[in-house]
Amino acid sequence: MALASRYPDVEIPDLSVPEFVLAGGASRPDSPALVDGLTGDSISHGQLATYVDRVAAALAARGLRKGDVVAVLCPNTMWYPVVFHGIARAGCVMSPINSLYTAHEVAFQLKDSGAKVLITVSPFLDRALEAVEQSPVDEVVVMDGAEGHASLLDLISSDAPSVEVDIDPATDLVTLPYSSGTTGLPKGVMLTHRNLVANVSQSRPLVELHEGDERIIAVLPFFHIYGLTVLMNQGLQWGGTVVTLPRFDLEQFLRTIQDQEITRAFVAPPIVLALAKHPMVDQFDLSSLRSITSGAAPLDEALAQAAQDRLRKGAADGVVVAQGYGMTELSPVSHTTPDATRLPEGATSVPKGSVGLALPNTECRLVDPSTGEDAAPGERGELWVRGPQVMKGYLNNEKATRETLDDEGWLHTGDVAIVDENGCYTVVDRVKELIKYKGYQVAPAELEAVLVNNPAIADAAVIGVKDADSGEELPKAFVVRAPGAEISEQEVMDYAAERLAPHKKIRAVEFIEQVPKSAAGKILRKDLKARA
């Protein structure tokens, strides 16, 4: 039985992402669209539209055509949205790469996505070039410039004719982020123009928007779909100002909220933890904030309350600290906590531990995974989601697509949830392999594949174990030593750390005789969890 959204459906404009998003600032061309939180430099909405047109023209002049993939390896700067929309306007597909990836991880994504161009920044150039050697990329653009490479300025000052690419929003891809989904290695998630346009449109009725007066802090990375849709595209579509920070530093974050009078912060749980606990928070005036929304990993209810109480400084109202929920495969949002004035009829508040309500145009089911039947009212079940934000599928991986997205269009999230009588959902468990470390994905299968490449390791299995102090999930490896091998715990951790981005570090090791497996050879992670 499908559970309908408590909100009436919204109309989803039949537009490409750049047409839809950039229209948000069209009536205020001189107001800032983007601000560099470190320097205060800015790009106005009018400039943004011009730069996007130029980047698209320059890409087309290089021979890039509709559907070609352009990868971007770059931290958050105010130029990232220029690049993303330029790529999209040219009809190309932007594949965002995690800034912390090793050359090996970058190469995997370049190869798998079939990227033709890589856009990066000079501090990452060595790593980028090492990765490009093993890939189909034929040009590397260095945004801030480097000998022998075109720069962003070169693209923006191009005098190539503007392009009019015929984009079908319903079928043409706009972005290809990577996610491991419920099982296995990272896969390209095919998101269409319509997926992203829908997700921004669907989120709108839950926000009490202050037209022309919203400033969003963008410290979560644009290379993750959360940053791309919620921080960048939603913020720009609102006609707001998106203030970028290249990395999370608590003092910079707090100072930027204060100095730029930030109204909305979309964050992950570690930032809420800092807001609740760190002494430095009291030294800044954060009273411009209207909401802080946390997503990407579970947020402890008491922690959310503590952060809110502290920031309100005893006042009865003020900033709301609440949660949203989503998944790369959902563009990414399916649930969020509305502003207080945007609650659906009959509802008075959203409990702090809840991820909020299903967005408009979003249907949900809670299904007992063992029987495939709908869970009884008030009971837990695997969350299935259907709506216009559901991905088209995984790139070149029909099997994984079929395992995740069924014939009726339901996306099986691998998360377990409950819903209350007001339609507020709470995520209570995760039944998929995925581990979340500080909101980042860690795919056990990827770590296992790295470990078994070590000749001293005969077999390995990785699970997440909850750390009592931080509440974080830590990747733990169960390792079977090869006969006669003497590899130590530290050597196992070092071996993985050399090959993988820092958030994928193995943080605990246990040696075992044999990895428990089913008759079909599947790792019995439940048994390992019980043992840990």
- Residues interacting with ligand AYL, by CB under 6 A? 179, 226, 230, 293, 295-298, 323-328, 332-333, 336, 355, 413, 415, 427, 430, 436, 441
Full DSSP string of 371-438:
T-PBPPTT--EEEEEESTTS-SEETT-HHHHHHHB-TTS-EEEEEEEEE-TTSEEEEEEE-SS-EEET
- Residue closer to ligand AYL by CB (options 155, 275) is 275
Q: What is the C-alpha to C-alpha distance for residues 446 and 504, in angstroms, rounded to an integer?
A: 9
Question: 200 phi and psi, to 5 degrees?
Answer: -70, -40
Give the contacts of 522 (CB within 8 A, at least 6 positions apart).
none
Contact 34, 241 (CB under 8 A): yes
Q: Indicate the residue whose CB is closest to ligand AYL.
A: 295
Rg (CA), the chain: 23
- Residue closer to ligand AYL by CB (options 32, 439) is 439
Q: Could you tell me how many residues make up the chain?
A: 532
In 10 A of CB 291, how many CB atoms? 18
Q: How far is the CB of 410 from ligand AYL (least distance, A)?
A: 15
Q: What is the C-alpha to C-alpha distance for residues 355 and 428, in angstroms, rounded to an integer?
A: 10
Task: Give me 6's structure tokens.
Answer: 């408590």
Question: 187 phi and psi, to 5 degrees?
Answer: -130, 150
- Residue closer to ligand AYL by CB (options 158, 203) is 203
- Residue closer to ligand AYL by CB (options 179, 237) is 179
- Residue closer to ligand AYL by CB (options 24, 326) is 326
Question: 245 phi and psi, to 5 degrees?
Answer: -130, 135
- Residue closer to ligand AYL by CB (options 108, 226) is 226
Q: How far is the CB of 207 from ligand AYL (least distance, A)?
A: 12
Q: How far is the CB of 372 from ligand AYL (least distance, A)?
A: 20
* CA-based max dimension of the chain: 71
In 10 A of CB 138, how many CB atoms? 12
Q: What is the C-alpha to C-alpha distance for residues 164 and 54, in angstroms, rounded to an integer?
A: 12
DSSP-derived letter for residue 95 is E
Secondary structure of residue 463 in the 3-state scheme:
strand
Q: How far is the CB of 124 from ligand AYL (least distance, A)?
A: 22
- Residue closer to ligand AYL by CB (options 215, 430) is 430
In 10 A of CB 123, how many CB atoms? 13
Contact 447, 500 (CB under 8 A): yes
Task: Give me 330's structure tokens.
Answer: 């959902």
Secondary structure of residue 85 in the 3-state scheme:
helix
Q: Given its phi and psi angles, is residue 239 left (phi above 0), alpha (psi -120 to 50 degrees) or beta?
A: left
Closest to 400 in 3D by CA, of 137, 112, 67: 112
Contact 176, 95 (CB under 8 A): yes
Q: At 141, which amino acid appears?
A: V
Q: How far is the CB of 238 from ligand AYL (least distance, A)?
A: 15
